[in-house]
Structure 1
Amino acid sequence: MTTTPIAHAFAEPEERQELRKAVFALASKYGHEYVAEKARTGGKTTELWQDMGRHGFLGVNIAEEHGGGGGGMGDLSAVLEEAAAAGAPMLMMVVSQAICGSVIGRFGTEEQKKRWLPDIASGAYTMAFAITEADAGSNSHNITTTATRDGDGWVLKGQKTWISGVDEAQGILVVSRAADAKTGKLKPCLFVVPTDAPGLEKQPLEMTFDAPEKQWTLFFDDVRLPADALVGDEDAGLLQLFAGLNPERIMGAAYSNGMSRFALAKAVEYAKTRKVWKDQPIGTHQGIAHPLAKVKIELEQSRLLQQKAAALYDAGDDMGAGEYANMAKYAAGEVACNATDIAVHTHGGSGLTRELGLANMLVAARLGRIAPVSREMILNFVAMHSLGLPKSY
């Protein structure tokens, strides 16, 4: 019997390793200072986005026949992780390429794929994703945004909140509910809505941390849509929705893990060079070294979960991908909070300076414990689906 060496079994394919190196090198040309300056001044990281698109990095998960790289979620999550590790994370990759690209690529008609996927792959067309509502929260069954048939088209009415990057997008994939003609009950349906559609109002949400991507509340006041705005099968329901949520969690993990790598690298560099006592760097002291080592262990655990979740998704195992995507997102949110906190503490007072940027990152990392799903809901999921415990909510 032929056995695979352990090192090879846990190593990513050489092609992906080279992809990681190329993305890190490109993102490093922009880096944290570029992103921070854009965030502070209300600018957009358009140059970085376009450069990543020109190199083919944004569409690695989209089929070759639709202008992408023909890879999978493992490749796309690697791109986002490396960009974040270089100090230049791109939140819209989670939304446009991972969620919207995956849903359209899997369930869209051939016409829809031809219309949207090539430009999503190149970065020329950005699509936001709108599911969250103020009165629904984590319970997507309480969504009240509705789509009503009107002749050959639809009329959309309702509102969404905490929607990322609407001002950078040309379209929004909106999760709504439509009446089932047979039962009369409401079922989830997905529609692509142009961001300049009549009847769509956008209001920005003020955040306490700086980021180039803004958050928005959306109001759909009888927005009229053509028949082909409906993505996929009207009766597919939750299957189509969850096709985008597993990639969202995997990419959320990649975003947080990349942020952790950036923060840890900054802290380790400082611990190696900062000297206070007896001409020794502070990294020689266990009070500094041990927390950093602990973060390193937690980070590697989180990255393994992320890679396994992506591998399961790419293999078509939706059930397994859902389980590990949730666990990966949980682990990554935890380590991001720990890594940024310890990085600030390692630097002392200078860790809170605007120039270093770690304090802003500390607040941003906290979002990984909340969105796109809270850690408590993930624990509910694991308790119920992984451990077989009774449903608690």
Structure 2
Amino acid sequence: MKRNHYDADHEAYRDTVREFLAREVEPHHERWEEQRLVDRSAWLAAGKSGIIGLAVPEEFGGSGVTDYRFRQVVAEEVARTATTSFGAGIALQDDIVIPYLLHLGTEEQKQRWLPGMAAGELIGAIAMTEPGAGSDLQGVKTTAVRDGDEWVINGQKTFISNGIQADVVIVVCRTDPEAGSKGFSLIVVEDGTSGFGRGRKLHKVGLAAQDTAELVFEDVRVPAGNLLGGEGRGFLHLMENLPLERIAMSVSGITAARAAYEWTKQYVFERKAFGKQIGDLQNTRFVLAEMLTEIEVTESHVDRCVLALGAGELTAVDASKAKWWATELQKRVVDRCVQLHGGYGYMMEYPIARSYTDTRIQTIYGGTTEVMKEIIGRDIAAEFR
């Protein structure tokens, strides 16, 4: 089924992204996976090519493009080339960090950080998860105490994507221990600030080159002007950005599923067993038929959500539906594709093997499948309250 939600501008941009990945990413990605870090030069190249900072207004050095379909094109091309670690890093920059600065930042904050982010000179991260607080943000213990014209931050964060190289970190802090959900604030900490340190570069099952770190804050003093958004409104600000964050995860999931299917379809009609192409065996055809149908149905739904996001109509509940479904589908599809590759599906030189290790985190970060279902379930129950 032909998708029709792209126009000529999106397809022209696809050519730009494809050429950029072939030149700046694909030749180096295996080395990045081995060193567990993407070279900063790739970020700079992405900035020059207009691959990151799309939504940053032109006055701050970006493209000023808010149509999420362009980000969707980037995700599709990253999935096609199996350069997921690189794609995950820039997705965090474009889909999470930059939107917070755009929607909550003062003019001074935007001028300070957005040009560098659009150029790939500054790498951003958001520090929410703690050793004892994952999906339950109410368990956050990192504190920020006002002292004159400064905030003093103490605490630890873990599983922080882009954490090793981040120049700008949005930290979720408890600024009023007695105020419950109204006691959280977002405060920006910059690299080089005294007391701000990095712990281990965490060794993950997949997404090896996408650096993930432990962060430590020991009496970190930042200017009062580094408060992002309203004091005590941090939890609300996090909720406001959820539709974008979760539709981004949905796009990541379905694009990875489509890429795995395409690699596998090609493989089974080249590989022979029992005197014929594997693709001509009935079981293989049934599996291909099932996967293609599920992928196309999900693509249609995710595309509709992307259009709703652009129209300002996508709710956090609808984004949660798309997130859990698309990422769970990704797991099923990639697993079946490994099976159809046989022993070669377990060899890391094949993109399907790399996709297998990269896929498992998808139903965990950005909100677990169980949390997504709870959000949807509460919304259903609210109809009867």
What's the TM-score once normalised by structure 1's chain length? 0.88
- The 1:308–1:235 alpha-carbon spacing in structure 2 relative to 1, beyond 3 Å, is farther
Q: Quote the offset at 1:191 in angstroms.
A: 1.1
Q: Aligned equivalents of 2:24 and 2:352: distance in 1?
A: 17
Matched, 1:214 2:214: no
Q: Quote the offset at 1:7 in angstroms.
A: 8.1
- Contact 1:179/1:185 (CA < 8 Å) preserved in 2? no
- What amino acid does structure 2 have at the position aligned with 1:361? S
CA RMSD of aligned residues (A): 2.6
- The 1:148–1:373 alpha-carbon spacing in structure 2 relative to 1, beyond 3 Å, is same
Q: Aligned equivalents of 1:39 and 1:192: distance in 2?
A: 29
The percentage of aligned residue pairs carrying the same residue is: 28
Give per-residue Cα distances to partners, 1:70-127, cap 9 Å, x unaligned.
Answer: 2223322332232222222311223222111101101110111111112212222111
What's the TM-score once normalised by structure 2's chain length? 0.90
- The 1:379–1:155 alpha-carbon spacing in structure 2 relative to 1, beyond 3 Å, is same
Matched, 1:197 2:193: yes
Q: Aligned equivalents of 1:345 and 1:374: distance in 2?
A: 25
**Pairing 1:242-281 to 2, within 5 Å after superposition:** 242-278=239-275, 280-281=276-277
2:153 to 153, 156, 160: 156
Matched, 1:76 2:32: no
Q: Quote the offset at 1:21 in angstroms.
A: 3.7
Q: Aligned equivalents of 1:308 and 1:388: distance in 2?
A: 25
- The 1:339–1:35 alpha-carbon spacing in structure 2 relative to 1, beyond 3 Å, is farther
- Contact 1:27/1:87 (CA < 8 Å) preserved in 2? no
Matched, 1:17 2:11: yes
Q: Quote the offset at 1:349 in angstroms.
A: 0.6
1:321 to 315, 327, 331: 315
Structure 1: which 5+ runs fail to align?
1-5
- Contact 2:181/2:235 (CA < 8 Å) preserved in 1? no
Q: Quote the offset at 1:185 in angstroms.
A: 8.3
- The 1:197–1:265 alpha-carbon spacing in structure 2 relative to 1, beyond 3 Å, is same
- What amino acid does structure 2 have at the position aligned with 1:381? I
Q: Aligned equivalents of 1:129 and 1:113: distance in 2?
A: 16
- Contact 2:196/2:217 (CA < 8 Å) preserved in 1? yes
- Contact 1:310/1:321 (CA < 8 Å) preserved in 2? no
Count, aligned residues? 381
1:128 to 125, 138, 141: 125
Give per-residue Cα distances to partners, 1:246-277, cap 9 Å, x unaligned.
Answer: 32222222222232232222211111111223
- 3-state secondary structure, aligned to 1:147: strand
- Match of residue 295 from structure 1: 291
Q: Aligned equivalents of 2:296 and 2:266: distance in 1?
A: 19
- Contact 2:206/2:359 (CA < 8 Å) preserved in 1? no
Q: Quote the offset at 1:379 in angstroms.
A: 0.8
- What amino acid does structure 2 have at the position aligned with 1:239? L
Q: Aligned equivalents of 2:318 and 2:245: distance in 1?
A: 12
1:54 to 22, 42, 48: 48
Structure 2: which 5+ runs fail to align?
none
**Pairing 1:1-393 to 2, within 5 Å after superposition:** 10-29=4-23, 34-72=28-66, 73-89=68-84, 90-179=87-176, 187-204=183-200, 205-209=202-206, 211-278=208-275, 280-317=276-313, 320-386=314-380, 388=382
